[in-house]
Structure formats: structure tokens, C-alpha cells
Amino acid sequence: MPLALIETSHCNVDLKPAPIEPSWIIEGNPEARNCALSVSADRAACTLIWSCTEGKFNWYYDCDETIVILEGSIVLESDGMPPQRYGVGDVIFFRDGAHAKWHVEGYVRKVAFFRKTNPVGLSLAVRVVNKLRSLIPRRHDPAVQRGVGATAR
């Protein structure tokens, strides 16, 4: 069955337990929960809602992750980055390979966008292919249908 081209969800979903690796916990008893909202066809990208109760813990990133804090606040610390507080509306990008110390102050809820990274050579090849594809007009491109950019005869 083909995947829908447009999927919808909502941030108010039931979250299921998603325990933090016990060896990563520094202080407290943080309890994390999550729920997947979407997954790309190639499974290289996904979106989820994640929440966590108060505590301090390490987090090691094995893919690119962008988060938007929906509720609560955190203090993040990392090598070369002093502790800084983030709250509702803040957007943070963690690159694959990053490490951060999280201090959840009471409670935090976020939406997270994950993308698995490709090896450098493969990433370059994908960018080249995408650039070549962008040079070919598509049938469903509204600009092509209106004749925008087309040479008049």
C-alpha cells in the first residue's frame, strides 16, 4: 500500500515510556516518554513528541536532531558551550556526534525532528543528483504549467 503524500498529527498524543539509558543519568530519576508523529518512506527521518520529568543526564546524538521546546525548560551544557537555559519556543539543532548534558527543570515537552546522516561521499552524490533533478522541469510544477520561464514562440 503506498504511503499518503500528506499526513497529519497533533502534539497532544498519548506518550509511551522511552527510558533514558541508565548509565547516562547523572542526577535524579528522569522519566522520558515519546510518540512518533511521522516517519519518512526511507526511514531516514522522523518526527516525534518527547517529554521528560526533572533530572540531569547525558545525551549522545547518533543522528541530526532539531528540537522545538513546547513546554517547560532545560539547561544545556556541552564542550565549548557554557550552561544555557532554553524554554518554550526555543529551537536547538544537535549535529550527529554531539554530546550534551541536559538538566530538565521540572518538566519538558518537545517536538523533535530526526534525520540520519549519510557518509560524506554519499551526501555529495545525493546533492549532485538533487541539483541535476532541480534543473529538469517537472510536469506538476505550477511555473511550468503557467509558462513562467518558458521561451515565447
pLDDT tens for each residue of 14-60: 999 999 999 999 999 999 999 999 998 888 899 999 999 999 999 99
pLDDT tens for each residue of 91-135: 999 999 999 999 999 999 999 999 987 666 665 666 677 777 778
**Domain edges within the chain:** 16-115, 118-147
C-alpha separations of 92 from 45, 114, 122 in Å: 17, 12, 26
Which of 82, 73, 69, 67 minimizes the C-alpha distance to 53? 73
- Length of the chain, please? 153
At the topology level, CATH places domain 16-115 in Jelly Rolls (2.60.120)
Kindly report which listed range (1-10, 31-40, 70-79) carries the lowest average pLDDT score.
Answer: 1-10
Quick one: DSSP state of residue 85?
A: E
pTM score, two decimals?
0.74
Question: Using CA atoms in the order 60, 61, 65, 71, what is the torsion angle rounded to 10 degrees?
Answer: -10
